[in-house]
Amino acid sequence: MLGKFILLFLVWIGLTNSLDIQELLVGAVVAFVITRFFTPNREFNLKELIMKYIKFIPIFLKNLVQSNIAVAKIVLNPKLPINTGIVKLKTSLSSNQDKLILANAITLTPGTITVELRNNDLFIHILNIDSLDRSVLQKEIIDELERGLFV
């Protein structure tokens, strides 16, 4: 719980960009309230969280660069045929927080937007669907990010 408080307080300082005493006091109160009243019963493990993101960042950056290149090709050559659509893919993640981070990572990748997250189903709009085989899309989009992030 202390780790979460410290993390939230540091985020507050980063967002306010101020070390004034009144800003620090408000930040401490906000971080305490969020930590105290909005933390589930399980203990927050800062080390585990950091290790998750250290594994995830290189995989996410690789996907980000590949997607940027693919979208740039489409933009620079508008005659290229594109096949847009919404696909329903499944996640094997159990925690709602992990599912939310996965959905946001997909949305941050150019050419894809997570439209809805319902239970373990993600509805994703894809700018250019290369394969009509759902298992290929599952592997390219969900499985790779999950492997790097939480599995």
Q: What is the pLDDT of residue 39?
A: 64
Contacts of 91 (CB under 8 A, 6+ apart): 99, 102, 120, 121, 122, 142, 146
Which band of pLDDT confidence, cut at 50, 70 and 90, is reported for residue 69?
A: very high
d(CA 55, CA 98): 14
Which band of pLDDT confidence, cut at 50, 70 and 90, is reported for residue 101?
A: confident
Predicted TM-score (pTM) of the model is: 0.64
Backbone angles phi, psi at 17, to 5 degrees: 55, 40
**43 — alpha (psi -120 to 50), left (phi > 0) or beta?**
beta
Which band of pLDDT confidence, cut at 50, 70 and 90, is reported for residue 65?
A: very high
Q: What is the mean pLDDT of the chain?
A: 84
Which band of pLDDT confidence, cut at 50, 70 and 90, is reported for residue 141?
A: confident
Contact 73, 127 (CB under 8 A): no
